[in-house]
A and B are shown apart, each in its own frame.
Chain A
Amino acid sequence: MNFGITIAASLAIPLTGALAIAISGRINDNLRETVTLVTAGALALVVWSLVPDLMAGARPELQLFEVVPGIQLGFRIEPLGMLFAALASGLWIVNSIYSIGYMRGNKESKQTRFYVFFALSLAATIGIAFAANLFTLFLFYEALTLCTYPLVSHKGDEKTVRSARVYLGILLLTSIGLLLPAIIWTYFVAGTGEFTPGGILQGQLEGPALGLLLGLFVFGIGKAAVMPVHRWLPAAMVAPTPVSALLHAVAVVKAGVFTVTKVIVYIFGVDYLFAEPSSSWLLYAAAFTVVAASLVALRQQNLKRLLAYSTVAQLSYVVMATAVLKPLAEIGASLHMVAHAFGKITLFFAAGAIYTAAKKTEIGQLAGIGRRMPWTMTAFTIGALSMIGVPPTGGFVSKWYILAGAFQADNYLAIATIIASTILNAAYFLPIIFAAWFSRETADNNLEHGEAPLPMVIALTVTAALTIGLFISNGPVIALEAQMLGVGK
């Protein structure tokens, strides 16, 4: 089997899909949606076909060409990237089904442009996941920012454009301002930017400079939304909900934490960084973000904004878990990427379903909605429980591993943060769930509505099922990610 072709195909499929969507969009809407679904299915099939080989220890590679002497455009799949690509491509299918219901239900304009840029964003995401070195990763990282901009600014009115400006501004500002210098610095001191098990900086850079470089990376990767570079995420909520669901709960933000984790594991090296005291600030920054973002979420009235701040907190969970720098915590970090993806996409799907069926966006309006939209609210409840970390959901498992890792390192700050955040998560999710199921509908609420359109209900049921499924069966994920560190040692 030729891996190079598979990798090339997984990039080419969404790109040609985008072209086919653009062409078919001029002919017929149904045809365009079919093309989207076929593209998503084909991509998932190709990406998932690589999983067994990865489990068997293969590291598929595709080196394209040398751009500048010493800087290669190339791809190499390792467990973390495999997980990320499999996650994004799999959820794209579900999300496409949901998009069809949402875009038609809300009679959105410029639907073809929407699907085209969605496909392009997925291509960029796959590029990030499979990148073999920092240069390639940066290329697709910027491409992802630019491809999602038309999605965020989809509505095109003044408020949306202003928010989209914040989105683009912060993501470009951090990536050009901090990440690019960090990457060039890395190439400069290490002579390479290849992701190498065990890291490449050992013996090349030490002392406070290492902590500084880590800072440039962590804040330069604005997509990971570690405070204070998190502002773009709430701003991005002006996008149509399917965009918030797949991109701003899965692809874009996971690209951020994925990059942070990848840089720490394959550029710095977990053990090397653990031995360097100047890197310990990362733990504090992440812990602060977890708590602060949860506190902000507590005060939100708009459902999507609440979910956005919850995402900020959960992302820093992953960053914090990575920063504990112990094997179990690294596994917990990657597991949490999956658990949060399933849970948060479910929550966004539910928020979009509520908006489509009842045109409600504020938390105060949700009293008693559970009886009108039982499927949606059941899914919402499952997603919220996963955020809190209650069994039987995926969020419980990942929290378990992160906690185990924190105990391994005797890291009481991480433990305290996890406990505090669990309480805060419960404090902002449980009232919503309670009100939705047990409160009476108020008189000024719009009463004439039922469930959301069928495609949306199917999509959110699937993701809710996945959230529970991850609790029952998470062996493959753990087996795959254990390799990441097994090789690293």
Chain B
Amino acid sequence: MTGLYPHLPALQVVVPMLTAPLVMLLRQRRLSWAVASAASLCAFAIAVTLTLDVLADREITYLMGSWPAPWGIELGVDAFSALMLLIVTGASSLALLAGAQSLDRDIEAERQPLFFAAWLLVLAGLAGILVTADAFNIFVFMEISSLASYVLVAGGPDRRALPAVFQYLIMGTIGATFYLIGVGLIYLMTGTLNLADMELRIHDVADQRPILVAAGFITVGLALKAAIFPLHIWLPNAYTYAPNVVTVFLAACATKVSIYILLRFDFFVFQPNLQGHDFQFVYFLMPLSLLAILIASGVAMFEPNLKRLLAWSSVAQIGYITLGASLVSVTGITAGLLHIFNHALAKGALFLAVACLGMSVARMRIDSIGGIAQKMPWTMAAFVLAGLSLIGVPGTAGFISKWYLITATFRLGSLGIALVAVIVVSSLMAVVYIWRVVEAAYFHAPDPDSTAVEAPLPLLLATWGAVVLNFYFGLMPAIPIHLATSAAQLLHGHMR
């Protein structure tokens, strides 16, 4: 293993990418599932190893084909990418391990090998974005993961997934194109695609206007992909009509990887070089974050469909993440990054519970899960506990990021008080939308001819595993805090 050890950053991408065609060739659905899960777990193990290296303050860079940096492609893993790699590979592994039975309901047996191949391509693409230090490489991996994720979303039996995916595809392509235009402009002015090199060279560019335009294109393009309000409209439909297990995977990490690129670009490349960029960044991001938090939470309060309710909640939670980042202080960015991690835990657990419900309930409307807690006590108990984490009750992971976020906003004086009020109000809105589901499941009269039974054991185990993690990282959050803090210092350190 020592021979492979230095190649881990590359293997992080190569393992799932090369397993994908292999999985496609396996014609047997359980076999292909097993191989895909193994590849995902392997990627997770690599991510854990890389994280341990980062925690031990070892610098991880890797030169593809041993070409030196500005010319060859450089891979690198720092605290930020380690945190994200853990989330992406962890969510993928958990969803795959849990989801065999759930996927059997949604996808015909003969198409499953293709589906798992697409899943591994998404994983490879997302991991690729996180390890590479090259702007064009990011674009390539972004396209790989996006195209494959359209397949995943459209894979279910629900025909309404098709218009949803078409919308997702159009918006995603616009976002990616914008990003490419921005990168192209920068390449034109600097002649480099390496992010670190870009940071140095932009400094010497005489005419800053194209860079400014590039910053606009890149920010808007990535905001589209990250579903930052008001560019979120593709998200609720895509999450709602995708197969349940796919929603677990995508909700936990897909949009957050776009936020990762956005923050990396903004803090590494633009903040140190563009006059007044920090100002523009704050004034662009903060109002949108606040609107996202309030409006999306408000919509979730009245949404009759359970999956769409959680999707709207995701739009609001993305608002928390960008709000933290828009405070441009170390504590603020830490809060945002922590929330990427903690929200992935909470929302992952919630969507896993939804997948459990999906085994017995065809239509995910809140009316149709009345009294289901009697039939599926373990599923609903998990839903309640994960919901508490989403609300941010102390002792859960969600509380930790909220604590950091409020502490960071307190530093802003009177503006901070207003922000605290928004955070508090939206937490209360979360109480309302979570409790609507809880009341329906526990107190409404059950459907007399419902045949609901408790979900299969693997799915239930994974759901409860995620719930336990919510509480573990609520009481002992040292590792995510350490990663988020070092990542925030890294990002903040690049500011002028």
- Using a CB–CB cutoff of 8 Å, the interface residues on chain A facing chain B are 65-69, 73, 135, 138-139, 142-143, 146, 153, 156, 158, 161, 165, 168-169, 172-173, 176-177, 180-181, 184-185, 187-188
Interface SS of B by simple majority: helix
Contact B431 A181 (CB under 8 A): no
Bits for B410-426, please: 1 = Cβ < 8 Å to A, else 0.
10000000001000110
A144 to chain B, nearest CB (A): 12
In the assembled complex, B356 has its CB within 8 A of some CB on chain A: no
A127 to chain B, nearest CB (A): 10
A177-B424, A184-B407 known; 15 new pairs, CB 8 Å cut-off, are A67-B477, A68-B404, A69-B481, A135-B394, A139-B395, A146-B388, A153-B443, A156-B443, A158-B443, A161-B439, A172-B431, A173-B431, A177-B425, A188-B407, A188-B410
**Could you tell me the distance between the alpha carbons of A153 and B442 in the complex, rounded to whole angstroms?**
10
Tell me which residues across on chain A come within 8 A of B404, comparing CB atoms: 68
- Residue of A66, A68, A169 contacting most chain B CB atoms (<10 Å): A68
In the assembled complex, B336 has its CB within 8 A of some CB on chain A: no
Q: Which residue of B lies closest to A169 (CB)?
A: B431
- Residue of A143, A158, A184 contacting most chain B CB atoms (<10 Å): A184
Within 8 A of A (CB), among B451-496: 475-478, 481
Within 8 A of A (CB), among B182-233: none
Contact B410 A185 (CB under 8 A): yes
**Could you tell me the distance between the alpha carbons of A66 and B435 in the complex, rounded to whole angstroms?**
31
Smallest CB-CB A-B distances: 5 pairs:
A139-B394, A161-B443, A184-B406, A177-B424, A188-B410
**Could you tell me the distance between the alpha carbons of A172 and B391 in the complex, rounded to whole angstroms?**
10
**Could you tell me the distance between the alpha carbons of A284 and B410 in the complex, rounded to whole angstroms?**
30
Tally chain B residues at the interface, Cβ within 8 Å.
27
Contact B395 A143 (CB under 8 A): yes
Tell me which residues across on chain A come within 8 A of B137, comparing CB atoms: none
**Could you tell me the distance between the alpha carbons of A176 and B394 in the complex, rounded to whole angstroms?**
10
Q: Which residue of B lies closest to A176 (CB)?
A: B427
Tell me which residues across on chain B come within 8 A of A177, comparing CB atoms: 424-425, 427-428
Contact A180 B424 (CB under 8 A): yes
Tell me which residues across on chain B come within 8 A of A156, comparing CB atoms: 442-443
A74 to chain B, nearest CB (A): 12
Tell me which residues across on chain B come within 8 A of A172, comparing CB atoms: 428, 431
**Could you tell me the distance between the alpha carbons of A172 and B475 in the complex, rounded to whole angstroms?**
20
Tell me which residues across on chain B come within 8 A of A168, comparing CB atoms: 431, 435
In the assembled complex, B299 has its CB within 8 A of some CB on chain A: no
B162 to chain A, nearest CB (A): 39
In the assembled complex, B392 has its CB within 8 A of some CB on chain A: yes
**Could you tell me the distance between the alpha carbons of A349 and B407 in the complex, rounded to whole angstroms?**
45
* With A67-B475, A67-B477, A73-B475 as contacts: A176 and B407 at CB distance below 8 Å: no
Tell me which residues across on chain B come within 8 A of A138, comparing CB atoms: 394
- Residue of B393, B407, B477, B481 contacting most chain A CB atoms (<10 Å): B393
Within 8 A of A (CB), among B13-29: none
Tell me which residues across on chain B come within 8 A of A188, comparing CB atoms: 407, 410
Contact A181 B403 (CB under 8 A): no
Contact B420 A181 (CB under 8 A): yes
| A-B pairs with beta carbons under 8 Å apart, 11 shown | A67-B475, A68-B400, A68-B403, A138-B394, A142-B394, A153-B443, A158-B443, A176-B391, A181-B424, A184-B403, A188-B407
**Could you tell me the distance between the alpha carbons of A173 and B425 in the complex, rounded to whole angstroms?**
9
Instruction: Name A68's contact: one of B388, B406, B481 (CB within 8 Å).
Output: B481
* With A138-B394, A176-B392 as contacts: A184 and B410 at CB distance below 8 Å: yes
Tell me which residues across on chain B come within 8 A of A158, comparing CB atoms: 443
Q: Which residue of A lies closest to B427 (CB)?
A: A176
Tell me which residues across on chain A come within 8 A of B477, comparing CB atoms: 67-68
Q: Which residue of A lies closest to B481 (CB)?
A: A68
**Could you tell me the distance between the alpha carbons of A156 and B446 in the complex, rounded to whole angstroms?**
12
**Could you tell me the distance between the alpha carbons of A187 and B406 in the complex, rounded to whole angstroms?**
11
**Could you tell me the distance between the alpha carbons of A135 and B392 in the complex, rounded to whole angstroms?**
14
Tell me which residues across on chain B come within 8 A of A181, comparing CB atoms: 406, 420, 424
Instruction: Name B428's contact: one of A142, A161, A176 (CB within 8 Å).
Output: A176
**Could you tell me the distance between the alpha carbons of A161 and B458 in the complex, rounded to whole angstroms?**
33
Tell me which residues across on chain A come within 8 A of B400, comparing CB atoms: 67-68
A219 to chain B, nearest CB (A): 13
**Could you tell me the distance between the alpha carbons of A159 and B404 in the complex, rounded to whole angstroms?**
39
- Residue of B410, B425, B431, B443 contacting most chain A CB atoms (<10 Å): B443
Contact A142 B481 (CB under 8 A): no
A208 to chain B, nearest CB (A): 14
B421 to chain A, nearest CB (A): 9
Q: Which residue of A lies closest to B384 (CB)?
A: A146
**Could you tell me the distance between the alpha carbons of A67 and B478 in the complex, rounded to whole angstroms?**
7
Instruction: Name A176's contact: one of B424, B439, B442 (CB within 8 Å).
Output: B424
B104 to chain A, nearest CB (A): 32
Q: Which residue of A lies closest to B388 (CB)?
A: A146
A186 to chain B, nearest CB (A): 11
Contact A180 B406 (CB under 8 A): yes
**Could you tell me the distance between the alpha carbons of A66 and B427 in the complex, rounded to whole angstroms?**
25
Contact B393 A173 (CB under 8 A): no
A245 to chain B, nearest CB (A): 24
Contact B403 A146 (CB under 8 A): no
B111 to chain A, nearest CB (A): 43
**Could you tell me the distance between the alpha carbons of A249 and B414 in the complex, rounded to whole angstroms?**
40
**Could you tell me the distance between the alpha carbons of A256 and B345 in the complex, rounded to whole angstroms?**
32
Tell me which residues across on chain B come within 8 A of A69, comparing CB atoms: 481
**Could you tell me the distance between the alpha carbons of A143 and B393 in the complex, rounded to whole angstroms?**
9
**Could you tell me the distance between the alpha carbons of A73 and B474 in the complex, rounded to whole angstroms?**
12
**Could you tell me the distance between the alpha carbons of A177 and B426 in the complex, rounded to whole angstroms?**
10
**Could you tell me the distance between the alpha carbons of A143 and B385 in the complex, rounded to whole angstroms?**
12
Q: Which residue of B lies closest to A150 (CB)?
A: B442
Within 8 A of A (CB), among B341-391: 388, 391
B91 to chain A, nearest CB (A): 24
B334 to chain A, nearest CB (A): 11
Contact A165 B435 (CB under 8 A): yes
A193 to chain B, nearest CB (A): 12
Tell me which residues across on chain A come within 8 A of B410, comparing CB atoms: 184-185, 188
B143 to chain A, nearest CB (A): 39
Tell me which residues across on chain B come within 8 A of A143, comparing CB atoms: 395
Contact B406 A142 (CB under 8 A): no
Tell me which residues across on chain B come within 8 A of A173, comparing CB atoms: 428, 431
**Could you tell me the distance between the alpha carbons of A205 and B392 in the complex, rounded to whole angstroms?**
28
**Could you tell me the distance between the alpha carbons of A73 and B395 in the complex, rounded to whole angstroms?**
10
Q: Which residue of B lies closest to A187 (CB)?
A: B407
**Could you tell me the distance between the alpha carbons of A229 and B424 in the complex, rounded to whole angstroms?**
17
Tell me which residues across on chain A come within 8 A of B394, comparing CB atoms: 135, 138-139, 142
Tell me which residues across on chain B come within 8 A of A139, comparing CB atoms: 394-395
**Could you tell me the distance between the alpha carbons of A21 and B476 in the complex, rounded to whole angstroms?**
29
**Could you tell me the distance between the alpha carbons of A142 and B477 in the complex, rounded to whole angstroms?**
19
Q: Which residue of A lies closest to B478 (CB)?
A: A66
A174 to chain B, nearest CB (A): 10
**Could you tell me the distance between the alpha carbons of A381 and B315 in the complex, rounded to whole angstroms?**
58
